[in-house]
A and B are shown apart, each in its own frame.
Chain A
Amino acid sequence: MNKHEWLQRIYDQHIAYEKREKRIVRFFQTIIVIAFFSLWEIASRFHWIDPLLFSSPSSIWHLFITKVRDHTLFSHTTITLTETVLGFIVGTIAGICFAALLWWFPRVSKIVDPYLVILNAMPKVALGPILIVALGPNMTSIVAMGAIISIIITTIVVYTSFKEVDANYIKVLQTFGATKRQWFTEAILPASFPTMISTLKVNVGLSWVGVIVGEFLVSKQGLGYMIIYGFQVFNFTLVLLSLLMIALLSSIMYQLVSWFEKKLIKRA
């Protein structure tokens, strides 16, 4: 057997192993989902758990079909999704822009540092009532909730990563006479991409929190409203349906961020 064939065989073995490993992981993941929902259904049927409180997958499914038929689920979901995506984008972009400003003006960053710490420590959802009164009980204030919850932490995390970029990269650029703007675009920004991506991932979760709490408070429409309404009329099937929708949508958003990450960071 020559060397080439041998290497090929080792490589094939490696790939086969990886495939097998992946299949096993997928298998157990599927088993867990099936087991979870079956157990839930059975437990509810046999009254091991209170079906009024915990509902059951089948009743949630029936409710889902009804809600799809009368188009209410679609409209509530679209509203919440729009608010969340907007809040996420506004919060993230504004956070990164603030971070860039702080990097550009170091003195400003020193001055505002303690205020950032305080703002970060404050529970942002507590601002909800004020926002709603100030901006009106509508989509704007809910989007603002989704954004405000992630903006400060994004600013702090991204600014810290800007600061931690090795100054020698800037020295290299300086030797070629680069401008401060070029330092930012050629070194600071690309060096911070990995940090930015991880804040994106955190922000996906945060904006959902902000938006759902916003909808609780405004209580007009959206999945958050469906939860509050279901709670008030003691329809927990409705609450759980909304929760499952949220889980589904937020994991799709998360996957999108991961896909974006792969596009942005080409190196391994």
Chain B
Amino acid sequence: MPILTIDQVMHAYVTNQSAVLALNHLSLTVERGEFLSFLGPSGCGKTTLLSIIAGLIEPTKGRVLIEGKEAKTMRQTIGYMLQHDYLFPWKTIEQNVTIGLKLTGKYSEKTRKQTLALLHQIGLRDVDDRYPYELSGGMRQRAALVRTLATDPKILLLDEPFSALDYQTKLKLEDLVWETLKQYRKTALLVTHDIGEAIAMSDRIVLFTAKPGKIKRVVSVPDSLKACTPFQARQHPDFSPIFQMIWKELESIEQT
């Protein structure tokens, strides 16, 4: 059974002014351990789709199933990192990254230590007792990533998690996240605007068209690249052709 089934999902945002169709007849299945990337123009509904999968908003039509059950009842299996960090400004970094543990009742000295270790591993040292405003944008984003990983979710939804990072840190983090996910066979859906990142990290890449959001095409990354770490994949000879192909697809999407 696929870990995630998106079945004919439609979503319209209804406001007092109008009803806008954000997602149109979207279907997709994801197997356990798969890594998918979502690429598409701004406003095509990527964040909307993640929010629906996370059970935060109810799709207007259609269903989302996680391990065969309604998404809303499966919140515990999902870790969702929002597009902006949304660290709580009144909590210290330690309190921020452990809040998920506390809310889900998983908080213990052991999980606390693990989470703090992850924080250090990701390059945030000596910030446990600091407040978010004392951190740079990139540091905050990493803290938000740790907060999401802390509860050990089976499915990770990452909405542009690396967007505020400098290039070097980004490459390092890609490798770290990729290795962690592969090691524990986690499923991940990544929203990104970086074609290279999508190719380097994913098994499949979903290309969206805009207004209303629809799947244009699903590109499978060749096995040769899947076997490499993201950093190695970027140097691989197979990288460039697939990059070109996706680039052209996106160009054609933007023109229509």
Contacts and interface: CB of A to CB of B under 8 A. Distances in A.
A267 B75 contact: no
Q: How large is the interface on A (under 10, 10 to 19, 20 to 34, 35 or more residues)?
A: 20 to 34
A197 interface: no
Contacts of B99: 173, 176, 186
A171 B82 contact: yes
B131 interface: yes
A166 B131 CA distance: 18
A110 to B, nearest CB: 14
B56 A175 contact: yes
Interface string A241-268: 0000000000000000000000001011
Nearest to A182: B103
B86 A172 contact: yes
Interface in A167-204: 168-169, 171-178, 182, 186-187, 190-191, 193
Contacts of A193: 90
Contacts of B75: 174-177
A187 to B, nearest CB: 7
Interface in A117-162: none
Given A169-B88, A172-B82, A187-B88, A267 B100 contact: no
B103 A176 contact: yes
Contact of B86 (A166, A176, A265, A267): A166
Contacts of A186: 88, 99, 103
A268 B79 CA distance: 31
B88 A176 contact: no
B35 interface: no
A176 B133 contact: no
Q: How large is the interface on B (under 10, 10 to 19, 20 to 34, 35 or more residues)?
A: 20 to 34
A171 B56 contact: yes
Interface string A34-75: 000000000000000000000000000000000000000000
Most buried by B among A168, A172, A173, A190: A172
Contacts of B108: none
Contacts of A178: 103
A267 B56 contact: no
A114 to B, nearest CB: 19
Given A166-B86, A267-B89, A176 B151 contact: yes
Contacts of A171: 51, 56, 80, 82, 86
B54 interface: yes
Contacts of A187: 88
A178 B99 CA distance: 10
B192 to A, nearest CB: 20
Most buried by A among B54, B80, B103, B133: B103
Contacts of B56: 171, 174-175
B15 to A, nearest CB: 14
Contact of B84 (A168, A176, A268): A168
A166 B88 CA distance: 11
A178 B84 CA distance: 20
Contacts of A169: 86, 88
Most buried by B among A168, A176, A187, A267: A176
Given A168-B84, A171-B82, A186-B99, A176 B90 contact: no
Given A190-B90, A267-B90, A176 B54 contact: no
5 contacts: A166-B86, A168-B86, A172-B86, A177-B104, A186-B88
Interface of A: 166, 168-169, 171-178, 182, 186-187, 190-191, 193, 265, 267-268
Given A175-B78, A190-B91, 15 more contacts: A169-B86, A169-B88, A171-B56, A171-B80, A174-B54, A174-B55, A175-B54, A175-B75, A176-B100, A177-B103, A186-B88, A191-B89, A193-B90, A267-B89, A267-B90
Minimum-distance CB pairs A-B, first 8: A176-B103, A175-B80, A190-B90, A176-B100, A267-B131, A177-B75, A168-B86, A178-B103
